[in-house]
Structure 1
Amino acid sequence: MSKEEHEVATLGTAPVTSTVINIRSDTSVPDHVVWSLFNTLFMNCCCLGFVAFAYSVKSRDRKMVGDVTGAQANASTARSLNIAALVLSIIAIVVLIILYATVMGKRI
């Protein structure tokens, strides 16, 4: 076997190398920023909307860092605070409408 044939033979039997790229699954964690901003501006009963907005921003920061567990915990807290702010604000609005209707009904 000549030197050239030997080089070709060794090139053909070289081990095949492969590259493995691990792509992490991008778990969707809702951060509720828009809902919190709405509650902060329009339904800020007992400042719950503002606190929910703070937790929403924390959740978004945790998501950007890659801490999915922390992002989910902060998003859950923001969701609970948003629900509480929304329910309390709706109850307050309904009570105010009822009070206004009864006071105006007595004047007529």
Structure 2
Amino acid sequence: MLSDNGSAYKSHQWRDTCAELGITVKKTRPYRPQTNGKTERFHRTLADGWAFAKFYSSEKARRAALPAFLHDYNVHRPHTAIGKAAPITRLNNLTGHHS
């Protein structure tokens, strides 16, 4: 989990929950707009492309739509920062699923 150094990410409950779920927490360095900008842009992409892109009848329906959005984002959507290729093209059969 990449987070900034905000107070929400310093609580014992946050730390304990991440530890319980086996989540490794990494903090962005202070005053690093390069990192924070990428994170904020991804959040905007999530909001525009998935979370608020359409009306969901429930939170359960919204969550059910997330895997399809992430698949499209990582496998089919061109990203200008990597020559209009999809992020999956940067991996070389990492898990052996796409041989």
The TM-score normalised by the length of structure 1 is: 0.26
Structure with the largest fraction of strand: 2
Highest Rg: 1 or 2? 1
